[in-house]
Amino acid sequence: MSAYDLELLSDRHNRKGFHCGKESVERYLRETAKGHLLKGVSVTRVLVEQGAGVPIPILGYFTLTTILAEAADWPGAAKGLPKTPVPIVLLGRLAVALDWQGKGIARLLLAAAREISAASMHGTGGIGMAVDAADEELIGFYEKYGFNRIGDDSMRLFLPLSSLC
């Protein structure tokens, strides 16, 4: 098995060569992610094989940002939260390159995103991680790792800070 590194997105990474099967996710990585990183909007991290040459192929990536949400009634949220918005880390995107799908890369990326999010919230505050699933199949993936829908018809899922790590 290969050894991997998780790196902040940079010009060394082959964004144009990343294909995951979802054009909107590919386009975000190619056209928007680096700008958002430089402007402080969000942080994109990429998983790469150790020792890969430049431009470094991207095996998968995820994007994290902080949002405010009224989460007092969300499943798993701490009791007694204010009815006003509270800080949450949003997992904006998580994608795996086509050639690497089915090899546990998504699980590795999600574990890293959870760890980074928990460390951030322990240092600055926050109640957990949310994700907006693109479809029902992805809801199943996130539920497998402890996330719960915030409502019966919602595509947003939540995992409280106490369950992140």
- Encode pLDDT of 141-161 as tens digits: 999 999 999 999 999 999 999
Q: Let me know: does 148 contact 139? Beta carbons within 8 Å.
A: no
User: Residue 165's pLDDT is what?
Assistant: 73
Q: What is the pLDDT of residues 78-126, one digit of tens each?
A: 999 999 999 999 999 999 999 999 999 999 999 999 999 999 999 999 9
Cα Rg, the chain, nearest whole Å: 16
CATH class of the structural domain 4-164: alpha beta
Domain ranges across the chain: 4-164
Per-residue pLDDT at 135: 87
Query: Omega before 55 cis (within 30°)?
Result: yes
| Long-range CB contact pairs, 135-142, < 8 A, 24+ | 141/106
Amino acid at 56: I
Q: What is the pTM of this model?
A: 0.94
What is the mean pLDDT of the segment spanning 39-48? 98
Residue type, 164: L
Per-residue pLDDT band at 24 (split at 50, 70, 90) = very high
Neighbours of 94 (CB within 10 A): 21
Q: What is the mean pLDDT of the chain?
A: 95
